[in-house]
Amino acid sequence: MIKLEDVTKVFKVKDKEIKALHNISLHINKGDIFGVIGLSGAGKSTLIRTINFLERPTSGKVIVEGEALHALKKQQLRQVRKNIGMIFQHFNLLQTKTIFQNVAIPLILEKQNKQAIRERVMELLSFVGLEDKANDYPSQLSGGQKQRVGIARALATNPSILLCDEATSALDPQTTDSVLDLLKKINETYNITIVMIAHDMNIIKKICHRVAVMEDGKIIETGDVIDVFKEPKHASTEKFVETVVHRNIPSSIYTLMEKKKDGVFIQIPFINDQTGTLVSTLSKEFQLDVDMVYASMDEIKDDQVGFMVLHLLGTENDIQNGLQYIKSNNMTYQEVGRNV
């Protein structure tokens, strides 16, 4: 479990103070894949680095697996860091060492014996599918393979947390998918908590359970990924969401709506089969003429998220009752048009 309480980070650059993090509070559950998304300069990199104290917050608390990091002595902090693996956008592998030696380094630092190191490294390399590359050098590997080495190295000390700093940003889409699959497998096999930062919502969509959206050093929205995709609350979040899922009513539909004589148009966001028998209920029990004008669905991880636009025709009273019914059934709607 990771807890950030009121974390602020101020950088001093020549008398100027730059506030990279503004009073951030965050709670990341054990075993979660937690995504942080934001544009460059939003403070994501600084945020993820406060979790292992590569960046020491100017104020506020970081609590990792029950330990308040600011209270730790250097030696204790190093011990905590061994429990937090980290992978990087540019891999940060030692160019002069073989793949085997790169993965072995965290174990060498712990002064484990050679036999134990050998076994553990080979086990890790086979887990990431690179056992045949043990004696190669990083320069002989592709980007995706390098990141796999980075992952193997980060897992060497059996950490309970893995931090991913733009881990797939330097990779092509196909390789990105395979690295994400590997991260998912790690999360499922070892129940390791994964915190990843990204600027691409597609990555969040593919593997994250929960997401925080950052802007100008602040977290503007947090929630389950599916909920954020269904109903983003902040305008910036909406922009991120729109890069992945369809959220706008096409203009041709608006034209079509104008042609309809009267009635109310509502937009209802939903997840999976959340809407159930809504359409038939509205028509049977509230005597409304219901016409589905438009609908759109996208797959987010293992769920469907989408919205539909309904045209409701009936007496004002019936319409109001129908809308009330929607609200009382844990659904939301937004009026997008009304013809009188």
User: Residue 109 interacts with other proteins (CB under 8 A)?
Assistant: yes
Site string for other proteins, 115-134 (x = CB under 8 A): --------------------
CA atoms within 13 A on the CB side of 320: 3
Asked if 78 is part of the footprint of other proteins (rule: CB under 8 A), the reply reads: yes
| 3-state SS, residue 6 | strand
Residues 6+ apart with CB under 8 A from 37: 44, 197, 198, 199, 200, 201, 204, 211, 212, 213, 214, 240
295 binds other proteins (CB under 8 A): no
Residue 174 lies near other proteins (rule: CB under 8 A) = no
Q: Is the Cβ of residue 88 or residue 190 nearer to other proteins in the bound state?
A: 88
> In b/e form, how buried is each residue of 136-145, taking b as 16+ CB within 10 angstroms?
ebbeebebbb
Q: Length of the chain, please? A: 340
Q: What is the DSSP letter of 170?
A: T
What is the separation of C-alpha 274 from the centre of its chain, rounded to a whole number of angstroms?
23
Out of 44, 81, 120, 230, which residue is the one contacting other proteins (CB under 8 A)? 81
Binding of residue 96 to other proteins (CB under 8 A): yes
Q: Is 90 in the site for other proteins (CB under 8 A)?
A: yes
**What amino acid occupies position 77?**
L
Among 19, 22, 82, 199, binds other proteins (CB under 8 A): 82
Contacts of 219 (CB under 8 A, 6+ apart): 24, 25, 26, 212, 213
92 binds other proteins (CB under 8 A): yes
22 counts as binding other proteins under rule CB under 8 A: no
Does residue 70 bind other proteins (CB under 8 A)? no
Measured between alpha carbons, how far apart are the two ends of the chain, in Å?
A: 55
Work out how close the CB of 28 gets to other proteins at its nearest, in angstroms, rounded to a whole number.
17
CB of 45: closest distance to other proteins in angstroms?
11
What is the closest distance, in whole angstroms, from the C-beta atom of residue 49 to other proteins in the complex?
A: 8
Pick 68 or 295: Cβ nearer other proteins: 68
Using CB under 8 A as the criterion, which residues of the chain lie in contact with other proteins when the complex forms?
A: 52, 54, 77-82, 84-86, 88, 90, 92-97, 105-106, 108-109, 137, 139, 153, 157, 163
